[in-house]
Amino acid sequence: MCGIFGIVTDKEQALGPILTEAALRLTYRGYDSVGAATISGSKIDLRKDKGRIKDVAEAYNFAEMIGSRGITQLRWATFGEPSQVNSQPHLDSDGDLVGAHNGNVVNNVELRQQFAAEGMTVRSMNDGESCVHAVERYINKGFDFIEAIRRAYGDLQGDYSFVIGQINDDKLYAIKKGSGLVVGIGEGFTCVSSDLPSILPLTRKIMRLNDGEIITLSPDKVELHSVKDGSLIQREPETVTETMEAVQKGGYAHFMLKEIHEQSQVAREVLHMLDGSPDVAAVIEKMKAARNLYFIGCGTSYHACLIGAVYFAQIAGRPVIPVLAPQFTPQYAPTVTSKDVGLFVSQSGETKDVLNALEVAEAKGMACYGLANVIGSTLTRATVSSLPLCCGYEISVPATKTFTNQVVTFLYLAYRMAGRDTQELAAIPALMDKTLEMVAAQVETIAAEINGWNDLYCLGYGGTYPIALEGALKLKEITYAHCEGMLSTEFKHGPLSAVSQGFPILFAAGPQDVPLIVSGLNEVTCRGARAIAIGQDDPRLHANASDVIVLPQSAPEITPLLAVLPLQLLSYHMSVLRGYDPDFPRNLSKTLTVD
């Protein structure tokens, strides 16, 4: 994910402590390397290394750094391993410019070759350095800073923001393209940061930015230019009056709703990360060679394991055993050997049930890998290597964005196992946004209509069976209603007797499974049930279901990722309608560190 912060002040001062504090507030965006640069007249003081902010700031004594302009960056490695040289900020060839970025420059490899061929000094593998050289390229040709950034923008592909400064100047410059960036305006300083909460302790006077805007920060003012034609953009600053908590919710009523809407962005992040990660190839090789392959997790993470197993079978032709972590010890540990591979999946990386299974698996010599959101958690430290979920903080107890990124990761790994082009997955984030847009109003209406029921079913088949389990778990977790998730074909083997007039049953339908789902719909509607189908636009669903929540057209393997979104929204709205706080449901905790 990464985080950047830059500040311009009206006098030389100790900027190190200010940069360190800002970096601490942005820690959730990147943990593996950190750096700070201050500019004082014709000198740039640059200190950086891999490691966490507290350790690096202490080891390199950030506290003594002085200047009138400063930049700090926290890195979550995508291009280039975590190392001192790959840490940000970066210098240009002569050491006159210094800058740092947040996001991904996807043509980084080609650009580095071009810069080197043009005689520039390329020191790292990191795409943040490409942002600096892209500006240097045009400064060297005599363009002013705004024009140099405009031209650099044409060269840098991807979603990113960066901040950059030059010696013997009194300004910093930044640009926003697809990654978060906010301006702060205070007494004697202006600043720019990846998020709003990190600015609020300094000032409540802020300016929100749009993609394609170039920002010039002076000690007493901020100017915006359009990257399109260089024209000046007029915008008045605004004063933030909300509490810090409201600001952290980003304008949404609850963290859960915010996190539901963050899913497309974090999916984009994890896909970029996986494309650039040196660990993926090693994990894939190990999985290919494994005798048995186990995906192990609890709760929502287990549901992701179930989908992962479907993907591996359908896409890569590789059987996988998905396991609820506590069942690993009694059922599978007796036969596990060093020829087997386990992927341990956990948002928190601290779930005791998962760690117990990991301990047993390691004692048996199994090769153990992790898939976790919290880097530095026990799981990520105890496994051979661990892939990050790249979701930032997930505050709401019900998992949403970490679930979809677990599923995206499994889909990506299945593609890599099968040797398929992972670029096909680039459509996922936009499809997620489109889904939320298409279903939002209808789901809210249905939530109000079925909210009186305290007994529901959620059914699916194939890739949508785990989605049915996940939808049911979300409903149980935050509405306190009983909702059972089930394979659609199993419903007739017993639960069908529960159906009465208006009884709500949700069906998640993959496009290839519609004929089977249609049978299930008829079995329950003819007995008076309200059958709510979730699937792509299909006349057979419209003809047989009571309601159809239509998803955008997508490849069948992407449908589960989209089908879960209306189910998340449905449980959210029902929870709120019942007067509960979906973020903090009773009796539950985000991290379960007990047996």
User: Binding of ligand M6R at residue 354 (CB under 6 A)?
Assistant: yes
Q: What string marks each residue from 475 to 494 as x (binds ligand M6R by CB under 6 A) or -?
A: --x-----------------
Closer CB to ligand M6R, 203 or 346, in the complex = 346
Please identify, using beta-carbon distances, which residue of 136 and 262 lies nearer to ligand M6R. 262
Q: Is 368 a catalytic residue?
A: no
Give the gyration radius of the chain's Cα atoms: 25
Strands 341-346 and 66-75: unpaired
Among positions 280-319, residues that touch ligand M6R (CB under 6 A) are 298-301
Give 236: exposed, middle or buried? Use CB within 10 Å, 0-12, 13-18, 19+: exposed
Catalytic residue among 2, 298, 368, 391: 2
Judged by CB under 6 A, the residue of 108, 347, 554, 568 near ligand M6R is 347
Instruction: Identify the residue whose tokens are 């519609």.
Output: 514
Q: Which is nearer to ligand M6R, 346 or 409 (CB)?
A: 346
Nearer to ligand M6R, 354 or 447 (CB): 354
Q: How many residues bind ligand M6R (CB under 6 A)?
A: 16
Residues 208/106, Cβ–Cβ less than 8 Å: no
For ligand M6R, give the closer residue by CB, 399 or 439. Answer: 399
Q: Tokens 């189908």 identify what position? A: 533
Question: Taking the complex as a whole, how short is the minimal distance between the CB of residue 311 and ligand M6R, in angstroms?
Answer: 19
C-alpha–C-alpha distance, residues 99 and 129, integer Å? 8
Instruction: Please provide residue 358's backbone torsions phi and psi, each rounded to the nearest 5 degrees.
Output: -60, -45
Binding piece for ligand M6R, criterion CB under 6 A, among 155-163, 208-216, 342-350, 575-583: 342-350
Q: Closest CB to ligand M6R belongs to which residue? A: 299
What is the spatial distance between Cα 291 and Cα 365, in angstroms, rounded to a whole number?
13
Contact 7, 20 (CB under 8 A): no
* Residue nearer to ligand M6R on the CB measure, 398 or 466: 398
Using the rule CB under 6 A, give the single segment among 27-35, 118-126, 340-348, 420-428 that binds ligand M6R. Answer: 340-348
- Min dist CB 366 to ligand M6R, Å, is 19
Smallest distance, ligand M6R to C-beta of residue 299, A? 2
Q: Least distance from C-beta 427 to ligand M6R, angstroms? A: 26
**Binding range to ligand M6R, per CB under 6 A, among 90-98, 149-157, 347-355, 567-575:** 347-355
Is residue 214 a contact residue for ligand M6R (CB under 6 A)? no
The rounded Cα 12 to chain-centroid distance in angstroms is 38
> What DSSP assignment string belongs to 411-423?
HHHHHHHHT--GG
Q: SS3 breakdown of the chain: % helix, strand, coil, rounded to 5?
A: 45, 25, 30
The active-site residue out of 171, 364, 434, 590 is 590
Q: Between the CA of residue 219 and those of 92, 194, 223, 231, 352, what are the distances in Å? A: 24, 19, 11, 22, 50
Angle between helices 401-418 and 559-577 (to 10 degrees): 170
- 455-474 residues in contact with ligand M6R (CB under 6 A) are 473
Rounded-to-integer distance, Cα 15 and Cα 43, Å = 14
Tell me which residue of 411, 408, 362, 369 sits closest to 387, measured CA to CA. Answer: 369
Question: Is residue 264 at the binding interface for ligand M6R, with CB under 6 A as the rule?
Answer: no
Task: Quote the least distance from Cβ 349 to ligand M6R, whole Å.
Answer: 7
Cβ atoms within 10 Å of 61's Cβ, excluding its own: 10
297 Cβ contact list (under 8 Å, min separation 6): 304, 305, 324, 325, 344, 345, 346, 351, 354
CB of 183 to ligand M6R, least distance (A): 35
Choice between 107 and 591, CB closer to ligand M6R = 591
CB of 551 to ligand M6R, least distance (A): 22
Reply yes or no on whether 391 is catalytic. Answer: no
The residue within the footprint of ligand M6R, chosen from 72, 130, 193, 351 (CB under 6 A), is: 351
CB nearer to ligand M6R: pick between 209 and 564: 564
Q: State which residue, 401 or 416, has the beta carbon closest to ligand M6R.
A: 401
Token look-up 């998640």 returns: 508
d(CA 255, CA 260): 8
The contact pattern for ligand M6R, residues 384-403, with x = CB under 6 A and - = no contact, is -------------xxx----
Crossing angle of helices 465-479 and 299-316, rounded to 10°: 170
Write out the binding residues for ligand M6R, residues 566-595 only, by CB under 6 A.
591-592
Instruction: State the Cα–Cα distance between residues 434 and 439, nearest whole angstrom.
Output: 9
Question: Which 3 state secondary structure label does DSSP give 350?
Answer: coil
CB of 371 to ligand M6R, least distance (A): 10
Active site residues: 2, 590
Chain residues in the site for ligand M6R (CB under 6 A): 298-301, 346-348, 351, 354, 397-399, 473, 477, 591-592
